Structure 1
Amino acid sequence: MNCVLRRAAVLILLQFVCFIGFSQLTVTGKVTDKAGKALPGATIAVKGTYLGTVASSNGTYRFQNLKEGNYSFVVSFLGYESAQKEVKLSKSEEIDFNLEASAIMADEVLVAATRADRKTPVALTNVKKDEIVARNLGQDIPMILSSTPSFVTTSDAGSGVGYTGFRVRGTDANRINVTIDGIPLNDSESHGVYWVNMPDFASSVEDIQIQRGVGTSTNGAAAFGATVNLQTSKVASEAYAEIASSAGSFNTFKNTVKVGTGLGKNGFSFDARLSKITSDGYIDRAKTDLQSVFLSGGYYGEKTSIKANFFAGKEQTYQAWNGVPSVRLNNDEAGMQEYADNWLLSQEAVDFMKASDSRTYNLYTYKNETDNYWQKHSQLFLTHLLSENTKLNIGLHYTHGEGYYEQFKPNDKLSKYGLDPIVIGSESITKTDVIRRKWLNNDFYGTVFSLSHSFSTVDLVWGGALNKYEGDHYGKIRWMKNAGDTFLDHEYYSSTGTKTDYNTYLKANISISEQFDLYADMQLRGIDYEIEGIDDDFRDLTQKHDFVFFNPKLGLNLQLNNSNRFFASLAVANREPNRSNYTDAELGKTPTSERLFDYEFGYKFTRSNVFFEANLYYMDYKDQLVLTGQINDVGSAIMVNVADSYRMGAEFSGGVKISKEFDWSGNITLSRNKIKNFTEYVDDWDNGGQIATSLGTTTLAFSPEVTANSMFTYQKSGFTAQLSSQFVDEQFIDNTSSSDRKLDAYFVSNLNLSYDIKSNIFKSMRIHLQVNNLFDEEYESNAWVYSYNTGGTRYKMDGYFPQAGINFLAGVTVRF
């Protein structure tokens, strides 16, 4: 067994460690308002332990098997002030709570309709603010979430700053629904989320919920692997100012300034943040220059709140998205020369590749080969308490984005720009050096709403959204050799995309008994999508597509006692093809929508010092869009519907409080991810066309069979140390299951240290140190490949994305 597998085996064994003490005391009680009315659904947690439960339909709760000792019980309920009681437990006791109605409408109302709670039968992870703050030293949100179950991240620049992405259960980001305060964030056409457009957004986030699988109904893009639900910072109770600065490897710097008025006596509150992040990146020339602003203001009354958010980001990122060819990674001189021999790169470019570092090579050398984008988000929320049990939430939003990426194309054909040859004297020039920009200018606006009502045994939520997207895609020439200013700003292609996305859903959580709950969730979603114009290859893109999807979900929740919970659910999701699926499709072969049947079964065991969760899932896809190697009439790769594919697996999570200061937590996912009856297509350069090969059942690309995380945490007197480790099994980079085209397994550890200081000069100061890739593992987290046959031999052109070796970030945060 090699070193990686030995370390992974240790991690797996740790997953099943349990320390369960003997205990026999019981705490019971009831949660009511000041008038004595029961508050079903109130959350009761035991501070400093893993214990937590939800009040029953008559407001009662129960904790069993507690040891003698000191306990802190914390009770919270939406619309009420939280309450806390300290108890020295020496015998079984009854502890009641009478909650006082909140003086303001809480911010949690904004996300309540699309989030799951303790009774919702879905697999989920809640990431709290203190966890986000502990890792927020400049890296993007995907890197902050990397230790959650079934979660795999990647970074183009190799350092976690700039273009980053993630997959959940092997599902790529354009199949994962993301919302901010219930507002859709996914791009309407690509379905993706570009975190680089929201620099340092983590500094304005209160918490994050990740639902794996289809999850509950939400707004925006289809959830085909997970949903990520972000809530922005809550209203502060008092005025504050905060300065946070960090620096680290690769000339990475982050500076953040935050100020807030706190909640005034008149009910108003205002907050602001400015951030700037710069980094050279691990990959050669992979520089980033990121700036952002976040403004929030609102009125918070007893029954009504009005909140406005404005946040904007500006990014310039040097392009590193081509990756490092495997022949460069492996120092294969002959393989690198094949790039020139087979006309993939010029000899000059190949010579440069040979002279470059094997892990940090970047194909691009033109000084302004950059991606540039500006994005502005405006959001307005109204929340009103219609009655004691009825809440209304309405949100309006508008997002404007515009930007381009600039490219230097040496010796490019003029015909690619719709231009005739340039005639200079007797010479006719058909190829020349070109600098071009490809632009995207888009607007996204609409409304979301939810109306919730609680009966004694039934919680109902009705919600929905209506959103409109308008996008302009076009390309312009910035410079052309031998042409002077003749073709400056020549527009060589232009197209538009217009999309209307609407949905409505009804959710019901029905308490059958104190232990048993039934969950039903029905969503109707419609899409009207129209594309007009020509693509950069002069293909006519004009087309129109309409969909109406019905997405039902049904689940059961069984809470045997405060230690044992079971759930089961069946959910259906439908997803429309994205823009590139349509624009790259072979003529006459329009891709169809995808459908997912998601079966989930979960169990959770909780005691004061230990918890264990197990979740089994089977995700059955119909007509999933995958890459097969097929190309369209102009040679672009296309995604094709495959009839049958699936993901099945088991997710295990656990934690142990070894002592008052020391705890361990971790998770592991074991999975199988398959396409049935897969056929691969490889370009035949000698005879034209493609060679088709039937491969039977193969593994879905980028779907590791094992992912695992381990976190050891020590906390005492303001000092915190955490050692986190992640194992990701090998991943195939296409759908052929070929060992020649895969990412190797890797095991990476990170060390996080912090120390909190309190003073009369400031409220608090935190000193951070984060050491990433502690043991200097060499690994790649993402890749692409193109295969072709010539001369009877199969060749490939590929790009791998190496991640940085040992590197660090250090910072100081001072709050006044």
Structure 2
Amino acid sequence: MKIFKNVLLIGFMFLSTLTAFSQSKVTGTVIDGDLNQPLAGANVVVKGTSTGTVTDFDGKFEISTTEKSGQIVVSYLGFVTKTISFTVTGNSVNLGNIVVAPDASQLQEIVVVGKGIIDLAADRKTPIAVSTIKAIEIQQKSGNWDLPELLKSTPSIQNVKGGGFGDGQMFLRGFDQTNTAFLLNGQPINGMEDGRMYWSNWSGVLDIANAIQVQRGLGSSKLAISSVGGTINVVTKTLDKNQGGFVQQMLANDNYTKTTAYYSTGLMKNGFAFSGMLGHWQGNGYIDGTHGQGQTYFLSFGYKAGEKDVLNFLVTGAPQWHGANNHMSLSTLLEKGRDYSDNYGTLNGEYYAGGRNFYHKPVLNLNWDHTFNQNVSLSTVLYGSFGRGGFEFLSGVGRNADGLYDFDTAVSSGVGYSKASVNAHNWFGLVSNLDYKLNDNFSFNVGFDGRMYNGQHYRNIVNFFGASSVNVTNNDQVGSYTITESYGYNPWDALFGSTPRNQRLDRDYEEQINYIGTFGQLEYAKDNFTAYFQGAVSTQSHQREGFFFAEEVGKSKKVNNLGYNLKAGGSYKVGDNHNVFANVGFYSRQPYHDDLFTNAAASNELNPYYDQNQEITGLEAGYQFKSQYISANLNLYHTIWDNRVLFDANDIDGDGVSDVFTQSSPAKQVHQGVELELFINPTNKLKMQGFVSVGDWKYVGNVTSSDYDDAGNLLSTGDTKYIDGVEIGNVAQFTAGFSANYEVLTRFNIDANWNHYNRMFGNTDLASSEWNDSANRGAIKLPSYNTVDAGVSYKWLLGKEKQNNLQFRVNINNLFDELYIENSRDNKHVDAGDDVWNGVDTSNRVKLGYGRTWNFSIRYNF
């Protein structure tokens, strides 16, 4: 028996050795044909077998097979499945680059519907300063964060979390979000009134994102109005070729949980396709009192009508509510913890926010792509959004001995209520673009951008605590009346409900904004040289109508402003590895609606500079190097932003609601800097990336300002604010980062990234009187800081042909729990005897960055 076992063992070893020597290796690299970049996460299977793998972050794959010849099948959701034949000579064969491309004729999901409108740098051959994040990285690193957090390892971008869910802010080359253009599948989504972005309204966008592209500076935007800092393009799912979907569960710190499910029918034989996503999230928030919850939804209906027409209807939204966080003195936060807040209390033993955002903003768009012939195509999107919600804050509610809001005492004493500043809007738009290839060297596109916006602003009662009614005696149009109705903070109720005029208080006005623009681009490309010219012209009309206070009753003067922009550039390719480019642009940009009035909340009086456009001049140059193992991008920029209106709001009493509003004009800023970005891929298992951004961002010249209170009363005017040479505040002017991803085992990856922030300054709040003094000491310098994030992921292939998979992901942010100041609302310098932390007077009201946080997700793709 023993001899028999030994014979079997020897035989088994012989067969194993024979099999090992007969194994052949098939290798190659899968390339995304849309963006000409490696495609990570693509499935590669030997046809007719269960042998397969997925591409790594460099798009590379390696398969061991006993077959000496055969075929491999490359597939990835949103791309054409590609079959490649192979024949092994010796023990291995390298198939080189395998390019897979989106197929518009089969309704693929990535950049298919509206391709002529969606702004991707690939649409223009002349280079720009650009960074692209693809779907696999979005899925892994987004976690329970908003879009700005995902972009923080991009040159010249800084993310500020803000405190509550969705309250983060992003800065690009020193410009805030109001001066960065955000697009969703070609649709502009910045606020029409002030350009702001509220990420709580877009909490589900990363669940359906296929790619995010950051175009810094001049960019290649086809819209008639250009941004100052750059353009962020979010490309979402539209239609899938194949049937499938995913289910995902996420858990995170502070009792956060999120469940998401997505399904697509794929393209059916009748030409129709449907996809949908539903999600729910809730959590306590990292900062005390910032509880929140919400839902996300996405529905897409598509139809392929013949070979020349593709249509798609999409609706998405993210109804939510969340508690808000105020700036607090640094001394208080150092004593009580970085997660401390006093902006909440308890009502009947349950948490209740002292300030709360609630909103529901469904977005709908209808895309139509028509191909006339191989040289001419037309893309059009018709869109609309219907935002309803507001910000809740308190009136007549005191605090208890612990410094928190005492709702129970307010109830027992018969006083106190909460009210909301409501924003309700209807927004409709149309964007259309015609692409025309004139010949082998010239291409041309021309387009139209039109928008109509109506915004309604008023206040209503959210909740009565002790009070049962509120008397209104100063409404000159309606007369005196008593408010007895409360409307709560449910975002679904806000969307479908309405508040009659006799239940509104404090303010009641509407805004009408109309916009029409046209744009065009001509590009020349021959051999190693490319050049382009872009131009756009637009007109905006603005009018405000008040219904409440005497000074705001009736319609304002109608304002019509004409604007335009011109951009040109060229590039030259030197050999196979080097490319240089330069771009120049000038924008005459109309001011935002809120900049036109002396106090947009309480007056029809126009700002003296209402008919003067902002003037933006941009210059940039760059060098690009690409090779097999290392690539580099070097960009230089110089941006002048002149003749702009500065608007500052100051919360004097610290209750989270602004008390003093300051308008200053004209103002000038100069932003200049250098950006270096490196990509290093020494092996097919290791990917590294690093960047350094050095900026110099300052105000140039002084300004004249006027101050108003919340009711629109003029407090002072003609004041000179001495800000010449003052550094732009609350954003790091020097940033650097390094990230690495290593495949330890097949489909098992670890990654980490380090970010450094330096040359940060305090807020230049012109509502503060310190800037009235020509001898002011400038902006305070905030301490530099570092953060390290880490993650681990694993993909388990399932199914007979490995077509399904189970993904596991863990993210840890601020791994070393660094304590740092994220931004400062105040600008108090250190004097003798002051309490100081890292060079900062601790009486300054600040927000500290989050400590160590984590999230874990499990996702089944089928």
Q: Same fold (TM over 0.5)?
A: yes
Q: How does 1:497-646 map to 2 (within 5 A)?
A: 497-511=511-525, 513-533=526-546, 542-585=556-599, 589-591=608-610, 592-626=612-646, 636-646=660-670
Query: Which letter does structure 2 place at the counterpart of 1:768?
Result: R
Q: Which residue of structure 2 aligns with residue 385 of structure 1?
A: 371
> 2:838 maps to what in 1?
none
Verify the 8 A CA contact 2:631 2:680 in the aligned structure 1: yes
Conserved? CA contact 2:203–2:318, under 8 Å: yes
Pairs within 5 Å for 1:112-123: 112-113=116-117, 114-117=119-122, 119-123=125-129
Residues 760 and 781, structure 2, Cα contact 8 Å, conserved in 1:
yes
Deviations 1:189-208 (A, max 9, x none): 12112121122211111111
Alignment of 1:215-254 (within 5 A): 215-219=219-223, 222-254=226-258
Structure 1 residues 240, 623: CA separation in 2 closer, same or farther (over 3 Å shift)? Answer: same
Residue type of the partner of 1:725?
W
Moved more, 545-554 or 775-784: 775-784
Match for residue 785 of structure 1 among 806, 826, 830:
826
Q: Does 1:771 align with 2:804?
A: no
Q: Shift of residue 807 of structure 1?
A: 1.4
Q: Are 1:363 and 2:319 counterparts?
A: no
Question: 1 CA distance for matches of 2:315 and 2:703?
Answer: 48
Residue in structure 2 matched with residue 103 of structure 1 by the alignment: 105
- Residue 468 of structure 1: CA displacement? 0.5
The one-letter code sitting in structure 1 at the alignment partner of 2:374 is E
Task: Go from structure 1 to structure 2 and tell me whether the alpha carbon gap of 1:327 and 1:538 turns closer, same or farther (over 3 Å shift).
Answer: farther
Residues in 2 aligned to 1:400 and 1:410: alpha-carbon distance in whole angstroms: 32
Question: Which structure would you say has the larger RCO, counting Cα contacts within 8 Å and 6 or more residues apart?
Answer: 1
* 2:771 is aligned with 1:720: no
Cα distance change, pair 236–520 in 1 and its aligned pair in 2 (3 A): same
Deviation of 1:465 (Å): 1.4
Asked which structure has the greater CA Rg, the reply is 2
8 Å CA contact retained: 2:357, 2:392: yes
Q: Aligned residue pairs: how many?
A: 702
Measured in 2, the distance between the counterparts of 1:684 and 1:385 equals 55
The answer on whether the counterparts of 1:630 and 1:682 sit within 8 Å (CA) in structure 2 is: no
Deviation at 1:254, TM superposition (A): 1.4
Change (3 A) 1:224 1:86: farther
In 2: Cα distance, 1:726 partner to 1:96 partner: 34
Q: Counterpart of 2:678 in structure 1: which amino acid? A: G
- The one-character-per-residue Cα deviations of 1:756-808 (angstroms, maximum 9, x if unpaired) are 001238810011000010111112323323889xxxx9x99854222221111
C-alpha spacing 1:99/1:742, structure 2 compared with 1 (3 Å) = closer
Q: Does 1:809 align with 2:855?
A: yes
Give the CA deviation at 1:315: 0.7
Answer yes or no: is the 8 Å Cα contact 1:504–1:523 preserved in 2. Answer: yes
Report the CA distance shift for 1:87/1:147 in structure 2 as closer, same or farther (over 3 A): farther
Q: State the secondary structure of the residue aligned to 1:697.
A: coil
Alignment of 1:449 with 2:432, yes or no, is yes
Partner of 2:459: 475
Q: Which residue of 1 aligns with 2:130?
A: 124
Paired residues for 1:148-547 under 5 Å: 148-157=154-163, 161-219=165-223, 222-300=226-304, 301-320=306-325, 322-331=326-335, 356-357=336-337, 359-365=339-345, 367-368=352-353, 369-410=355-396, 433-454=416-437, 455-478=439-462, 479=464, 484=469, 486-489=482-485, 490-492=503-505, 493-511=507-525, 513-533=526-546, 542-547=556-561
Deviation at 1:519, TM superposition (A): 0.7
2:824, 2:550 → 1: CA distance? 25
- The CA deviation at 1:672 is 0.4
* Cα separation, 1, equivalents of 2:648 and 2:39: 52
User: Deviations along 1:601-634, whole A, 9 cap, x unmatched?
Assistant: 01100100000110000001111333589999x9
Give the drift of 1:359: 4.5
Shift of 1:137: 2.2
Q: How does 1:45-84 map to 2 (within 5 A)?
A: none
Residue 651 (structure 1) aligns with: 675
* Shift, 1:707, TM fit: 1.0
Q: Any unmatched runs of 5+ in structure 1?
A: 1-40, 49-68, 332-355, 413-430
The separation in 2 between residues aligned to 1:491 and 1:679, in whole angstroms, is: 37
Q: How far 1:45 sits from its partner (Å)?
A: 5.9
Say if 1:531 and 1:327 are closer, same or farther in 2 by CA, change over 3 A: farther
- Structure 2 gaps, min length 5: 1-32, 41-60, 64-71, 347-351, 399-413, 471-481, 486-502, 600-604, 653-657, 710-714, 765-770, 835-840
Given that residues 338 and 849 in structure 2 are in contact (C-alpha distance below 8 angstroms), is that contact kept between their aligned partners in structure 1? Answer: no
Deviates further, 749-758 or 690-699 = 690-699
Distance 1:132 1:684, change over 3 A: closer
Does the CA-based 8 Å contact 1:208-1:229 persist in structure 2? yes
Overall identity of the aligned pairs, in %: 20
Tell me if the contact between 1:751 and 1:772 (Cα under 8 Å) persists in the aligned partners: yes
- Is the contact made by 2:202 and 2:318 (CA closer than 8 Å) also made in structure 1? yes
Q: Is the Cα–Cα contact under 8 Å of residues 564 and 589 in structure 2 kept in the other structure?
A: no
Alignment partners' CA distance in 1, 2:87 and 2:577? 20
Separation (CA, whole Å) in 2 of partners of 1:562 and 1:534 = 66
Q: Which amino acid aligns with 1:744?
A: P
CA deviations 1:521-578 (Å, max 9, x no partner) are 1111221111111688965683432111110100001122331111100012233333
CA deviations 1:151-187 (Å, max 9, x no partner) are 11112226xx432221111110011111111111111
Aligned amino acid, residue 524 of structure 1: V
CA contact (8 A) 1:183 1:219 kept: no
Question: Secondary structure at the residue paired with 1:187?
Answer: coil
Whole-angstrom distance in 1 between the partners of 2:708 and 2:360: 42
Q: Distance in 2 between matches of 1:96 and 1:705?
A: 41
Task: Give the Cα–Cα distance (whole angstroms) in 2 for the partners of residues 105 and 469 of structure 1.
Answer: 32
Cα distance in 1 for residues equivalent to 2:113 and 2:141? 27
RMSD of aligned residue pairs (Cα, Å) = 4.0
Are residues 97 and 768 of structure 1, via their aligned partners in 2, closer, same or farther at CA, if it must alter by over 3 Å?
closer
Secondary structure, counterpart of 1:147 in structure 2: coil
- When residues 581 and 785 of structure 1 are mapped into structure 2, their CA distance, relative to the original with a 3 A threshold, is farther
2:107–2:267: 8 Å Cα contact kept in structure 1?
no
Contact 1:628 1:681 in 2 (8 A): no
Cα drift, residue 278 of structure 1: 1.4
For the Cα contact (< 8 Å) 2:81–2:100, is it kept in 1?
Answer: no
Q: Give the stretch that moved more between structures: 97-106 or 541-550.
A: 97-106
AA partner of residue 182 (structure 2): V
| 1:674 correspondence with 2:730 | no
Larger mean Cα displacement after TM superposition, 673-682 or 601-610? 673-682
> Structure 1 residue 299: deviation in Å?
1.2
The equivalent residue for 1:760 is 799
C-alpha deviation, 1:370, in angstroms: 2.0
CA distance in 2, matches of 1:815, 1:94: 28
Amino acid at match of 1:318: G
- Which amino acid is 1:520 matched to? F
How far apart, in 1, do the equivalents of 2:98 and 2:391 lie? 61
- Indicate which of 735, 747, 752 corresponds to 2:786: 747
